[in-house]
Amino acid sequence: MLATIDAPWLSDADRERYEWHRNDLRRRVHWEAARGLELSDEMIDTTTAYAALLVAGYEPREAPLHLVAAVVFRDGTYLDQGQRPGPVRGSIDASPRRLAGQSGHGRGPVVLDWRTIRRDVVAPHRGTNVIVHEFAHKLDQLTGFADGMPPLPSRTARDAWAQTLGTNFRRLRRRGSDGLVRMYGATSPAEYFAVTSEVFFSRPDDLHDRLPRVYDRLAEFYRQDPALR
């Protein structure tokens, strides 16, 4: 069973919210398996386990995952030739790429490769989690744009986010990966947010030690401190 997660940093209140969001996703979202793959409870339970973790710090009334209306599982990665945000805000990248997941704009479906999910869950030390990645994109879209800046409470918070994540995004593009944040995060600010979110939840201690300011910005947004164990 892949649906069990280890999140010892969550408070009792966090866990109550976590279970609420998880149950909400189970009953509200349309779940589907494509291209001959058979939908299973394990797929749904595993996905809700990790998706709800992102919003355990948020009250149900805030409805942070309301854009998630449907999740489609695939058996293997696939080639995407559609347009997406480029590395500069307002730019478009239309080059083909092979994907393990995709987050449709607005209430468009979240597409997930079940093989990749299984790999990520059994090897969290890799710092990758396609569920966290695609659901982070849904949170990013709450502002109306997938630009790497999710909803933040103040101008000060937005300025700090832009300074910290923008600086580190550009550094990744310039210097390459040091093995913690993978190069896919250099694709665009939106992908940098999603990739660092993966690391935040799967390798929080490493992110805290090596990119402490990025860690702090993510901890403020997610209202969680996973390096606190």
Domain 12-222 has CATH 3.40.50.2030: no
Query: What is each CA distance from 68 to 49, 105, 125, 136, in whole angstroms?
Result: 15, 10, 27, 11
Q: What is the pLDDT of residues 33-88, one digit of tens each?
A: 998 899 999 999 999 999 999 999 999 999 999 999 999 999 977 766 555 555 55
Helix/strand/coil percentages in the chain, nearest 5: 50, 10, 40
Q: Given this model, what pLDDT does residue 89 score?
A: 56
| Of 42, 60, 39, the residue nearest 4 (C-alpha) | 42
* pTM, entire model: 0.91
By three-state DSSP, how is residue 112 classified? strand
Which tops the pLDDT comparison, 5 or 204? 204
Task: Determine the Cα–Cα distance for residues 179 and 49; give it in Å rounded to an integer.
Answer: 26
**Token pair recorded at residue 148:** 């790497």
What integer pLDDT is reported at residue 202 of this predicted model?
96
Which residue is associated with the tokens 């849904």?
138
In this predicted structure, the answer to whether residue 91 has a pLDDT above a threshold of 60 is: no
Query: What residue segments make up the domains of the chain, in order of their start?
Result: 12-222
Q: What mean pLDDT is reported for the chain?
A: 92
**Is residue 1's pLDDT more than 80?**
no
